[in-house]
Structure 1
Amino acid sequence: MTQLGEIQQAILNGESAAVGSLPVPESYRGVTVRADEVDMFEGLESRDKDPRKSLHLDDVPVPELGPGEALVAVMASAINYNTVWTSIFEPIPTFKFLKKYGKLSPLAKRHDLPYHVVGSDLSGVVLRTGVGVHNWKPGDEVVAHCLNVELESPDGHNDTMLDTEQRIWGFETNFGGLAEIALVKANQLMPKPDHLTWEEAASPGLVNSTAYRQLVSRNGADMKQGDVVLIWGASGGLGSYATQYALNGGAIPVCVVSSPEKAAICRKLGAELIIDRSAEDYKFWKSETEQDPKEWQRFGAKIRELTGGDDPDIVFEHPGRETFGASVYAARKGGTIVTCASTSGYMHQYDNRYLWMNLKRIIGSHFANYRESWEANRLISKGLIHPTLSKTYPLEETGQAALDVHRNAHQGKVGVLALAPQEGLGVRDEEKRAKHIEGINAFRGA
């Protein structure tokens, strides 16, 4: 049996604590993009770029373990839109991020390689910890959030997201979670929710933390009871968590979806006010360069019809270019548009009269700090927020998983198994799981 096989077997046998006495292999399999292929999609439209061609499963060396870091045996991971961006080399190839990081220090130089191991989610078991790590030890079952910070500048000490060297692990750094072993900073680690399988536990990390900061945190929209919250893509990776937070926090979600099937998922979560934008045939753009304010007005009227006359207190924005003009228009006077991601394009256009004359605010929100991520994971652990996993692929089919997300042919989150040989493993608290099984499985088969 290989060294990695011994580690895998110990974890599967429920003997995670034993991994500390097992040797760490010299190499592992990781999903990579390659620097010599960054021009492979030149001339193609974004929608025609195929992640199955650019994402490879390669044997790569285990990186040197530095101070404050941990090596983790990855049982499962998940697809985020940043992996799609990496795989189609947009908006820029991520090797530019790795090269810039590599200039920071000799330790950071490890990340500047001709291949990039991608992925910003994981669940797994700590294999080794570096000098200065006190809160984690080999054998701990963990999940990881994706905030990578240095915190040598004072800028990040009120909010680590403001650190001058803030990066997203597995996107702007190397050795990500779509692999059999990952390298993380110890302050990325959080306890694995014990009632979830490996693949379920891996799926919330990035999007759950992002939605928490964007909607709940004082650093975001600071949602309160009774707020009307307009949620774009309410059954998707980000939106499905925003919908849960709105419902749990006593707010009133207005869920925007693009099909009856997605509307049904929102109803299963408990949402009642739903707009199927495909059925309503909203066309916010007349052409590539001109928006249609009459469509904004029609959209706003639909929201007021559903809410009994109320405009949204908060607009949960992430599609970006396609929807931003409508979002600024739709928010109530004094309302908040909180934005991240921009999956339909980064160059937003809106009519500033609706913003300035109505005292609205636009808040930029990017991932979450450690405290926010910890709180978001704690809510998962308590069964107050549930994973939104709909489908899982093996590591060998990560390209197809990324293509599903790229083409929006998915609901919720798409998971990827790494060292876990099959779904359904890793549950440590069956009693708690039984209490929440309906919520856990809400997106299954969708």
Structure 2
Amino acid sequence: MNEILDAILAPDTPPEDFAALPVPEAYRAVTVHRDEAAMFEGQETREKDPRKSLHLDEVPVPELGPGEALVAVMASSVNYNSVWTSIFEPLPTFGFLERYGRLSPLAARHDLPYHIIGSDLAGVVLRTGAGVNSWKPGDEVVAHCLSVELEAADGHNDTMLDPEQRIWGFETNFGGLAEIALVKSNQLMPKPAHLTWEEAAAPGLVNSTAYRQLVSGNGAGMKQGDNVLIWGASGGLGSYATQFALAGGANPVCVVSSPDKAEICRRMGATAIIDRKADGYRFWKDGHQQDPREWKRFGKRIRELTGGEDVDIVFEHPGRETFGASVYVTRKGGTIVTCASTSGYEHTYDNRYLWMSLKRIVGSHFANYREAWEANRLIAKGKIHPTLSKTYPLEETGQATYDVHRNLHQGKVGVLALSPREGLGVRDPETRERHADAINLFRDAEGERTGGHSRDAEGERAGGHSGDV
């Protein structure tokens, strides 16, 4: 591993040198264990602790198959699917690995008693399998998390419809929270040159998901002038939706849960902000019955912020807690587009407000390759920026995942894998300088919140080291 890291950190290591590097027999990876899948039985979701279930193990390097690549991972990040995997909800992910393993002898590699998790990475290609022509050892890359076989006709118009579509590192093994990752070569995209490794690793899943959900015609098809209600607007997913709305000429109505998170939205450029905790919204009277009066109060507050207009689009992902309100506040003919259910999968809403007002509910799941590529292109052009607030070392991935599980974070929480420290990997300092304030926005806000300071790629801002809690 030291040889690999030295080659990455050295300036201008040629591709042939990367190709000649020996790939180690084993590497460190963050895992969950099959024999611990019942460890949290009987506990409430909130009480399940990822720090108890996530392990840092030494694991063997998997066999490289056709159309695949081994990537040395410099940095990764935590997504909500990392939380789901770590607390074994809604089901242990070993069922996904078993089903994938039955697909073919090559897929059987994934069915192991441990699951290497993680659906983001930024790193360097080490090896490519047979039939890979677009990528070579030494290429600096990020990876999107869509894994498809594309042997059926269904996915050739939209790869998300492939019957063998899976999320890498969640429904497959050998994910990105590790020193080496195994990906299909069509998951790879160029690393944005003006970003550090940890910054480049942060957007992948959430940026692509938000792009399809909000911008793409496969999602809401947002247009200029739309009012867009964004739940969790400063979070890992919502922070990208907020940026897409602002960049696309829409008006984001940002729903947050604290003054700190409201301030983040203001710094991004949003002006219509609702602090749901400060306003005391309680959409459920109890565990079984919602309160339509609260929907109406919420809708009134939205219209106060939009000049009397209802929202054209609701960017939904909390699920059970908010879905009834989301359907109610959407304008006639508007769209509720949902990609997750972090507060519960069983959604209840009053269907009269849907059918009689001709509203649409659209399901949106990650992104196809073209959508992921376009979303990454916007990052590379400096139109959309990473929302990294804090970075942990690989050894503390459990704490990073705990932060996301308990909503203690803002934006994205990063994890350093092979990278020895933050701030490395910038190849285009001029572009970075033009966007430095936007790139550091979430770090600066985290520093102010905790009494510390963030730092940029050149180390000019003190504090904010890996492992800050």
TM-score, shorter chain, exceeding 0.5: yes
1:143 matches 2:142: yes
Instruction: Quote the residue 2:229 is aligned against.
Output: 230
Instruction: Quote the residue 2:6 is aligned against.
Output: 9
Instruction: Quote the residue 1:204 is aligned against.
Output: 203
Instruction: Quote the residue 1:52 is aligned against.
Output: 51
Instruction: Quote the residue 1:336 is aligned against.
Output: 335
Instruction: Quote the residue 2:125 is aligned against.
Output: 126
Q: Please give the alpha-carbon distance, in whole angstroms, between the structure 1 residues aligned to 2:196 and 2:19.
A: 22
Aligned partner of residue 332 in structure 1, secondary structure: strand
| CA positional deviation for 1:249 | 0.2
Instruction: Quote the residue 2:239 is aligned against.
Output: 240
Listed as ranges, the matches of 1:26-175 within 5 Å are 26-175=25-174
Q: Please give the alpha-carbon distance, in whole angstroms, between the structure 1 residues aligned to 2:254 and 2:298.
A: 13
Aligned-partner residue type, residue 440 of structure 2: N
Aligned partner of residue 152 in structure 1, secondary structure: coil
Q: Please give the alpha-carbon distance, in whole angstroms, between the structure 2 residues aligned to 1:232 and 1:188.
A: 28
CA deviations on 1:291-329 (whole Å, 9 max, x unpaired) are: 000000000000001101000000000000000000000
Instruction: Quote the residue 2:464 is aligned against.
Output: none
| CA positional deviation for 1:174 | 0.1
Listed as ranges, the matches of 1:313-332 within 5 Å are 313-332=312-331
Percent identical among aligned pairs is 79
| CA positional deviation for 1:341 | 1.2
Q: Please give the alpha-carbon distance, in whole angstroms, between the structure 2 residues aligned to 1:13 and 1:400.
A: 31
Aligned-partner residue type, residue 261 of structure 1: D
Instruction: Quote the residue 2:178 is aligned against.
Output: 179
Q: Please give the alpha-carbon distance, in whole angstroms, between the structure 1 residues aligned to 2:44 and 2:246.
A: 38
Aligned partner of residue 175 in structure 1, secondary structure: coil
Instruction: Quote the residue 1:285 is aligned against.
Output: 284
Q: Please give the alpha-carbon distance, in whole angstroms, between the structure 2 residues aligned to 1:387 and 1:376.
A: 12
| CA positional deviation for 1:339 | 0.2
| CA positional deviation for 1:21 | 1.2
Q: Please give the alpha-carbon distance, in whole angstroms, between the structure 1 residues aligned to 2:10 and 2:407.
A: 37
Aligned-partner residue type, residue 311 of structure 2: P
Q: Please give the alpha-carbon distance, in whole angstroms, between the structure 2 residues aligned to 1:135 and 1:112.
A: 29
CA deviations on 1:402-422 (whole Å, 9 max, x unpaired) are: 000000000000000000000
TM-score of the two chains, using structure 1 as the length reference: 0.99
Aligned partner of residue 331 in structure 2, secondary structure: coil
Q: Please give the alpha-carbon distance, in whole angstroms, between the structure 1 residues aligned to 2:126 and 2:133.
A: 14
Aligned partner of residue 228 in structure 2, secondary structure: strand
Q: Please give the alpha-carbon distance, in whole angstroms, between the structure 2 residues aligned to 1:134 and 1:412.
A: 35
Listed as ranges, the matches of 1:264-283 within 5 Å are 264-283=263-282
Q: Please give the alpha-carbon distance, in whole angstroms, between the structure 1 residues aligned to 2:12 and 2:167.
A: 31
Q: Please give the alpha-carbon distance, in whole angstroms, between the structure 2 residues aligned to 1:14 and 1:129.
A: 22
Q: Please give the alpha-carbon distance, in whole angstroms, between the structure 1 residues aligned to 2:423 and 2:330.
A: 42
Instruction: Quote the residue 1:395 is aligned against.
Output: 394
Instruction: Quote the residue 2:427 is aligned against.
Output: 428
| CA positional deviation for 1:396 | 0.1
Q: Please give the alpha-carbon distance, in whole angstroms, between the structure 2 residues aligned to 1:62 and 1:51.
A: 25
After alignment, is 210-219 or 19-28 more displaced? 19-28
Instruction: Quote the residue 1:23 is aligned against.
Output: 22
Aligned-partner residue type, residue 113 of structure 1: L
CA deviations on 1:177-208 (whole Å, 9 max, x unpaired) are: 00000000000000000000000000000000
TM-score of the two chains, using structure 2 as the length reference: 0.94
Aligned partner of residue 151 in structure 2, secondary structure: coil
Aligned partner of residue 321 in structure 1, secondary structure: coil
Q: Which ranges in structure 1 are unaligned for 5 or more consecutive residues?
A: none
Instruction: Quote the residue 1:294 is aligned against.
Output: 293
| CA positional deviation for 1:19 | 1.8
| CA positional deviation for 1:47 | 0.4
Aligned partner of residue 65 in structure 2, secondary structure: coil
| CA positional deviation for 1:175 | 0.1
Q: Please give the alpha-carbon distance, in whole angstroms, between the structure 2 residues aligned to 1:121 and 1:14.
A: 25
Q: Please give the alpha-carbon distance, in whole angstroms, between the structure 1 residues aligned to 2:280 and 2:10.
A: 53
Aligned partner of residue 335 in structure 1, secondary structure: strand
| CA positional deviation for 1:14 | 2.6
Q: Which ranges in structure 2 are unaligned for 5 or more consecutive residues?
A: 447-469
Aligned-partner residue type, residue 11 of structure 1: I
| CA positional deviation for 1:13 | 1.2
Query: How many equivalent pairs are there?
Result: 443
Aligned-partner residue type, residue 28 of structure 1: Y
Q: Please give the alpha-carbon distance, in whole angstroms, between the structure 2 residues aligned to 1:402 and 1:387.
A: 18
| CA positional deviation for 1:20 | 1.3
Q: Please give the alpha-carbon distance, in whole angstroms, between the structure 2 residues aligned to 1:182 and 1:80.
A: 16
